Amino acid sequence: MDTYTPTPRTQVKRLAKRGVYDKSQVHAILDEGFLCHVGFELDGQPYVIPTGYARVGESLYIHGSAASRMLRTLDAGVDICLTVTLVDGFVLARSAFHHSMNYRSVVVLGKARLVTDREEKLLALRSFTNQILPGRWDEVRQPTDQELKSTSVLALPLNEVSAKVRTGGPIDDEEDYALPIWAGVVPVRTAVGEPLADSRALPGIPPVDTQRFTRFKKP
């Protein structure tokens, strides 16, 4: 199938026309992002934790220390709500009420599984590294057995998924269009700056080429 089937939990109800279930569009949002927020409940207390992620096919991977409370909790089979949001612009209307943002967001619901297969774990770690900088994995030292042992990787299947997207300008009340107030969209872009070398970097090594950060839109 080329689309995710909406469930009662993922069906976009508020402004349903903004709901997106097309897999290619969902994947494009996930592949452009690099930070997600993972929501779960532990002993009656809800938590929402920011963390990095990577998509491989129909799975999202998250990782961290094997001692991480979040990862140990998620490994126990609790329900997860994972979200990714990209902000594309501030929408300035003629009225305060109709101000908004242009955005692309994805919500994934489900339960995660602990990745125990060594090859799958290495694939996930490679994907994390390349999610930040394409091709970086092949330039750096690979993880040792001890580093692999001290790192937990969880896989969340892309089964219950929906996206929501807003584009375009402000939608004002008809009578407000006559007001002498500027309205429109101010684009928002994430950009990388000039690389700053580590204090112990060996001399003569050229800095990373920032053009390789292809997910960031050019001005």
Name the CA dihedral angle for 125, 127, 130, 131, rounded to a multiple of 10 degrees: -110
What CA–CA distance (Å, rounded) separates 103 from 216? 15
Fold for the domain defined by 16-87+104-174: Pnp Oxidase; Chain A (2.30.110)
Domains of the chain, by residue range, sit at 16-87+104-174
The residue-averaged pLDDT of 89-112 equals 96
Taking Cα atoms as reference points, which of 135, 142, 137, 127 lies closest to residue 209?
135
- At residue 214, the pLDDT reads 80
For 137, the token pair is 């994995």
Count of Cβ atoms closer than 10 Å to residue 95 Cβ: 14
pLDDT for position 124: 95
DSSP letter at 3 equals B
Q: Which residues lie closer than 8 Å to 115 by C-beta, 6 or more apart?
A: 61, 121, 124, 153, 154, 155
| 181-211 residue pLDDT tens | 999 999 999 888 899 999 999 999 999 999 8
What pLDDT, in 10s, does the model give residues 42-84? 888 999 999 999 999 999 999 988 777 787 777 777 899 999 9
Q: How far is the C-alpha of 36 from the C-alpha of 52, rounded, in Å?
A: 6
- In angstroms, the CA 159 to CA 31 distance is 17
